[in-house]
Structure 1
Amino acid sequence: MELTQAPLRTVRPKDLADRYVNPRAALARMATQGAVVRLAHGYFVATPDDQSAHWKPTMEAAAAGIASAIFGQRDIVLMGITAARIHHAIPRALGSAVVASPRQHRPVALDGGGRVIFVARDTIALDARLEALETGRALVTTPEQTLLDLAKRPDLGGARDEALSALSNLASRVTWDKVDRLVDEQHFGKTTLARVAALR
């Protein structure tokens, strides 16, 4: 496998077992040369061609890459506070990223701090669209789905204040008819619905 052809340019040493006798050592060597960046233990991302050897990916790109390496690019969706960041509803970088995945996975601690949190969900049922990241395109929940997810679980990712602030920012951008349709299609409790109703 060519590193640049991997989903979101992210690989694990075992993904390269057919190409290198010792893929872990090969990746470590490439990391010292700036050709790849180690995201976390066992995960590496190929540096984009238009970036210098000192490039570091954003939290969102790192999370999408790691999740894609585990589950496949089509089976993961950036959600919650991470989707809100991509939709510019949260201005500052956060210490955690949240990814919807087809099954549960333990959190992954990132090199340099931060972690990727996985939430088992029916990713096909989520309202999501492809968004451009530094390393490729990944599925991200739409503003409407993001609003509902944040209203349901504002504490997910450990950034409650930012999540609640993002709700107000998203409320002015969403199509409320679409929000209502998602409410009808998905199961949300009274607390979530009350939080959403207060934003209208």
Structure 2
Amino acid sequence: MNDRVTIPTSLARRANKVLRPRDAADVYAHPRGEFERLVEQAVLSHISTGYYALAPLERLGDPRWRPDLAAAALGVAQADYGRDAVALMSITAAHRHGTLPRAIGTAVVAVPKQRPLMHTNVGNVVFVKRDVHRLDLERVETELTTGWMTTPEQTALDISARPQLGGMGETDAKSILQALIRKIDWTVTEGLARDQRRPGALARLKEMTVA
């Protein structure tokens, strides 16, 4: 760590460590230029156009640090829509639940508005328009922010409904669902399928228990 590296307290204390230049408008007269300086000092890591990640305290000044893709995806979504309007879902939630052990190059996050794929320096982010207040969620902590992700039950339904979302192949989706089946509460899953009008996804999921 470079002892000369500094970061304004108001930025360092932000709950979400994904920052946009506009978030520092009350700190810097010219935030975009200051952000580029902080990137050169390895205080910030450039994620994508207009988005930067603040390095953890122990990695400040280390140019090798890059944020985790899921953390970056959740942070970007929170920066634009707020903590309680977004959630990690599909294969990204499955990875967090330990049912997809290998690293993946795409993160999937639920947001309130339709939005195109985002290319970042750590992978791609797929945004899915969903009302997260209708989803079954649990807390998730990442290196950049704390927020929400779908529960195993919700994740299983989502993947069963859209098995190719995020670039999953048929083999990946089947493997993930078989692992999730061992974690889910069927009463909860059936209730979610009923409330969200997903009988087809539930039926496909149940088929896998006898496959």
Tell me the TM-score range normalised by the shorter chain. Answer: over 0.9
Show structure 1 runs of 4+ deviating over 4 A. none
What corresponds to 1:109 in structure 2? 119
Equivalent position amino acid for 1:80 in 2: S
- Contact 2:89/2:149 (CA < 8 Å) preserved in 1? yes
What corresponds to 1:41 in structure 2? 49
Per the TM alignment, residue 181 of structure 1 is displaced from its structure 2 partner at its CA by 1.2
- Contact 2:89/2:109 (CA < 8 Å) preserved in 1? yes
Q: Does 1:60 align with 2:67?
A: no
Per the TM alignment, residue 7 of structure 1 is displaced from its structure 2 partner at its CA by 4.3
Distance, in Å, in 1 between the alignment partners of 2:99 and 2:105 is 16
- Contact 2:86/2:110 (CA < 8 Å) preserved in 1? yes
Q: Does 1:131 align with 2:131?
A: no
SS of 1:30's equivalent in the other structure is helix
1:176 pairs with one of 176, 182, 186: 186
Higher mean C-alpha deviation, range 143-152 or range 36-45: 36-45
Equivalent position amino acid for 2:133 in 1: I
Deviations 1:16-53 (A, max 9, x none): 12221221111111111111111111101111113352
What's the Cα RMSD here? 1.6
Q: Which runs of 5+ in 2 are unaligned?
A: 1-8
What corresponds to 2:162 in structure 1? 153
- Contact 1:106/1:117 (CA < 8 Å) preserved in 2? yes
Equivalent position amino acid for 2:55 in 1: T
Per the TM alignment, residue 128 of structure 1 is displaced from its structure 2 partner at its CA by 0.3
Equivalent position amino acid for 1:121 in 2: R
What corresponds to 2:30 in structure 1? 22
Distance, in Å, in 2 between the alignment partners of 1:21 and 1:163 is 48
Q: How many residues align?
A: 198
Listed as ranges, the matches of 1:180-191 within 5 Å are 180-190=190-200
Equivalent position amino acid for 1:159 in 2: M
What corresponds to 2:206 in structure 1? 197
Per the TM alignment, residue 73 of structure 1 is displaced from its structure 2 partner at its CA by 1.4
TM-score, length-normalised on structure 1?
A: 0.93
What corresponds to 1:85 in structure 2? 95
Distance, in Å, in 2 between the alignment partners of 1:167 and 1:183 is 15
- Contact 1:7/1:68 (CA < 8 Å) preserved in 2? no
Deviations 1:147-166 (A, max 9, x none): 00000001111123323211
Distance, in Å, in 2 between the alignment partners of 1:153 and 1:7 is 32
Identity of aligned residues (%): 36
Equivalent position amino acid for 2:47 in 1: L
- Structure ID, larger Rg: 2
Per the TM alignment, residue 8 of structure 1 is displaced from its structure 2 partner at its CA by 2.3
Distance, in Å, in 1 between the alignment partners of 2:10 and 2:141 is 21
Equivalent position amino acid for 2:185 in 1: T
- Contact 2:15/2:146 (CA < 8 Å) preserved in 1? no
